[in-house]
Amino acid sequence: MSASKITIVGAGLSGLVAGINLCREGYEVEIWDAAKSLGMLEDFHPSIHATPIDPARVSNYIGIDISPCFTPVKRFRMIVEKEKFDLNPVNYYLVERGGRKTSIDTYLYNIAVDMGIKVHFDHYVRRLDDIPERAVVATGFDKEGMEAIGVPYDQGTGAYARKKLDDPRFEDALMGWSGKYSTDYGYLSVANDLMFFLVFTRYPMTDENIEECKRHLEESEGLTFPKWSKHSGTTPVLGKDSLKLFKGNRVLTGTICGMIDPAGMFGIHGALMSGKIAELAYTDTERALEDFERFNKNFHRVRVVSAAMRRMPMRLPMAHLMMRFPRLMTPSLKMIDDAVPGYDGHWAVDMMKGRTIVKD
C-alpha cells in the first residue's frame, strides 16, 4: 500500500471532514461505510439536529465553509408538562442529516467526491484488524466500534417521528417537551421541509410512554405524526477512557474519540472539529494533541454537568425550576456557557435572557 494512502472507516460528519482535509494535504483517501447509501444507517435519517454553534468560526477551524447547511432557529419553545416558555433563539441552529440533497452529509460528500475521494458503501468493518494500520476510525454510535476501541457507553431508548412540514407555525422551530414519560426530554426540530421529533430516555420506552408523549404533543401544540418508531442505541459517556485520539496507530475521530455529547450540546460541534483534528494527527501531531486537549478541557465542563443531569432522579422538577426561575440557574448555565470552543457568545445564559411565559 502507498505510504500516502489513508483509509477512513465511516462517512459521517467526522469521517468526511477528516477525508476532505487529508485529501487537501495530498493524501490518497478512501472511505468505507457500512450503510447501503449515504446517511442511511438505521432509520434515523433524514433527521434535523439542533445545536448552539457559530457556523463561521467552526468553518474557519475545519477549513470547509459549512455555513450554508445551518438554518438559524426562528422559534424556540420549551414545554414542561403544562407550562410553556419561549426562549431566545439567538445562537441556535438547525442542520439536516442523512442522504437528502439538503443535508450536511450530502454537502460534505459532494465536496469529497469532487476532490477524487472514493467512498465505498455497504462495507461494514467488523474488527479493528480488518482495517489497515494507516486508518481513521469514524464509526459514530456503532456499538461494536465502541467496544473495539474501549469507549465507555450507555444504552438509551426512545422514539422518533417525522413528516413533511405542514404548518407554518413550526417553520425553523426548535421545541422541547418534558413529561413523566421520559427521564430526559423530547424535541422537535424543523428545517428545510422536514419536521423531526425525537424523545429519548434512560429506561425502556414502553408503548404507554409513547402514547403519553403523543398526547403531550397534541394537547400542548396540536402536533401529530402519522407514524412513530422506537429506537435504542448507545452513546459515549464520561469515563477515564472516554477520550482517545489514537488506538495503536489508528486515529480516532467523532463519537469514537469521545469528543461528542449530544445531550450536552456538542454532538455536531465535536464531530466536525474532531474531523479536522484527525487530519492534524497525520500532518502536525503536536498541534493535534494540543487542540484535542484544549477543546476537550472546555467540553469537559459540559460533560460533567450532562453526566450529573443524567444521574439525577428528579429531572422533571429540575426542568420546572430551571424554566420558572432562570436567575437561580444562571451560575450553572455560566459554567457550561463558554465551553463550546470557538464561541464568543453565551449561548446558555442568552437563551434564558429572552425567556417569556406563554399564556394560551
Ligand X SMILES: Cc1cc2nc3c(=O)[nH]c(=O)nc-3n(C[C@H](O)[C@H](O)[C@H](O)COP(=O)(O)OP(=O)(O)OC[C@H]3O[C@@H](n4cnc5c(N)ncnc54)[C@H](O)[C@@H]3O)c2cc1C
Grid cell in block for residue 16: 468526511
Least distance (Å) from ligand X to the CB of residue 206?
20
CA–CA gap between residue 279 and residue 239 (Å, rounded): 25
Least distance (Å) from ligand X to the CB of residue 176?
11
The span of 5-13, 110-118, 216-224, 280-288 binding ligand X (CB under 6 A) equals 5-13
The span of 19-27, 34-42, 296-304, 319-327 binding ligand X (CB under 6 A) equals 34-42
CA–CA gap between residue 258 and residue 267 (Å, rounded): 10
Query: If binding is defined by CB under 6 A, does position 108 make contact with ligand X?
Result: no
Residue from 44, 76, 177, 292 touching ligand X (CB under 6 A): that is 44
Order across the sheet with 250-252: list the strands: 118-120, 28-32, 5-9, 135-137, 250-252, 246-247
Residue from 23, 198, 243, 252 touching ligand X (CB under 6 A): that is 198
Least distance (Å) from ligand X to the CB of residue 357?
25
Query: If binding is defined by CB under 6 A, does position 96 make contact with ligand X?
Result: no
Cβ-based nearer residue to ligand X, 131 or 329 = 131
Amino acid 321 reads: L
Q: How many CB atoms lie within 10 A of CB 321?
A: 14
Residue from 57, 88, 99, 124 touching ligand X (CB under 6 A): that is 124
Compose the 142-171 pattern: x for residues touching ligand X by CB under 6 A, - for all others: x--x--------------------------
Order across the sheet with 83-87: list the strands: 228-236, 153-164, 194-201, 185-191, 173-178, 75-80, 83-87, 356-357
Find, among 213, 243, 237, the residue nearest to 225 by Cα.
213
Report how far apart, in Å, the C-alpha atoms of 144 and of each of 80, 238, 298 are. 36, 18, 28
Q: Tell me, by CB under 6 A, how many residues bind ligand X.
A: 33
CA–CA gap between residue 343 and residue 338 (Å, rounded): 6
Residue from 89, 156, 186, 267 touching ligand X (CB under 6 A): that is 267
Query: If binding is defined by CB under 6 A, does position 31 make contact with ligand X?
Result: no
Residue 321 phi/psi, 5-degree rounding, is: -60, -45
Least distance (Å) from ligand X to the CB of residue 272?
8
Residue 63 neighbours by CB under 8 Å, 6+ apart: 20, 21, 24, 276
CA 196, 200, 205, 210 torsion-angle sign? negative
Query: If binding is defined by CB under 6 A, does position 13 make contact with ligand X?
Result: yes
Query: If binding is defined by CB under 6 A, does position 276 make contact with ligand X?
Result: no
Least distance (Å) from ligand X to the CB of residue 268?
4
Q: Which residue is nearest to ligand X (CB)?
A: 12
Least distance (Å) from ligand X to the CB of residue 359?
28
Query: If binding is defined by CB under 6 A, does position 263 make contact with ligand X?
Result: no
Per the listing, cell 438509551 goes with: 156
The span of 141-149, 164-172, 287-295, 297-305 binding ligand X (CB under 6 A) equals 141-149
Grid cell in block for residue 14: 467526522
Residue from 6, 23, 29, 41 touching ligand X (CB under 6 A): that is 41
CB 9 within 8 A of CB 15: yes
Residues that bind ligand X in the complex, under the rule CB under 6 A = 9-15, 32-35, 41, 44, 47, 49-51, 124-125, 138-142, 145, 198, 254-255, 260, 262, 267-268, 271
